Amino acid sequence: MLTEKMEKALNEQINEELYSSYLYLAMAAWFESENLPGCAAWMQAQAREENGHAMKFFKFINERRGRVTLKAIKEPAKEWKSPLAAFEASLKHEQHITGCIDKLMNLAIAEKDHASAGLLQWFVNEQVEEEANVDGIVQRFKMAEKAPGALLMMDHALGERK
């Protein structure tokens, strides 16, 4: 059984994850408009992954006999000044999500909620991967800025993501 505090905080995280999905979908739409289909495909894959994260919390709340309550999802930005700026915004967002997960873990520990802590440990590890992946792309885009043609190569490589 979830405590009231934990249930509320996990529901807020569903909203954060759905917003993440929405944000990446907005980035996918922008990359499509910029004729960079590889980057758009990468963002669509990321949007699907974020939806999966939201559903992990959804399932867990139900399994713990809690009540899922969905709130409005805020409107994401529509455009970015360059591909690098979009991936930098993505990295900043993932750092924000890492902060949310850390706060949730602190709450689970304070509430002596081992089941929630178990779920959150998966997210702690996932955030290490999320930040490292996006940071790697940001670094490659920074190098690509100096080399003509590198942007198209990057776009092709990002489009390989399954």
Q: What token pair was written down for 115?
A: 């089941």
- Closer of 24 and 144 to ligand OFO (Cβ): 24
Task: Provide, rounded to whole angstroms, the least separation between the CB of residue 35 and ligand OFO.
Answer: 26
> Which of positions 75-104 make contact with ligand OFO (CB under 6 A)?
94, 97
Using CB under 6 A, count the residues that bind ligand OFO. Answer: 7
Q: How far is the CB of 136 from ligand OFO (least distance, A)?
A: 15
C-alpha angle 44-86-39 in degrees, rounded to nearest 5: 40
**Least distance from C-beta 1 to ligand OFO, angstroms?**
25
Cα first-last separation, the chain: 37
Give, as ranges, the residues between 29 and 68 that touch ligand OFO (CB under 6 A): 50, 53
What would you measure as the largest C-alpha separation in the chain, in angstroms?
57
Q: How far is CA 127 from the centre of its chain?
A: 9
83: which 2 tokens? 């591909």
Report the alpha-carbon distance of residue 112 to residue 110 in Å, rounded: 5
Residues 12-31 that bind ligand OFO (CB under 6 A): 17, 20
- Least Cα distance to 150 among 139, 141, 159 occurs for 141
Instruction: Please select the residue that binds ligand OFO; options are 7, 113, 130, 155, rule is CB under 6 A.
Output: 130
Closer by beta carbon to ligand OFO, 130 or else 144 = 130
Phi and psi based region of residue 82 (left: phi greater than 0; alpha: psi -120 to 50; beta: remaining) = beta
CB of 130 to ligand OFO, least distance (A): 5
Q: Is 155 in the site for ligand OFO (CB under 6 A)?
A: no
Query: Do 2 and 113 form a contact (C-beta atoms < 8 A)?
Result: yes
- Nearer to ligand OFO by Cβ, of 88 and 94: the residue is 94
Binding site for ligand OFO (CB under 6 A): 17, 20, 50, 53, 94, 97, 130
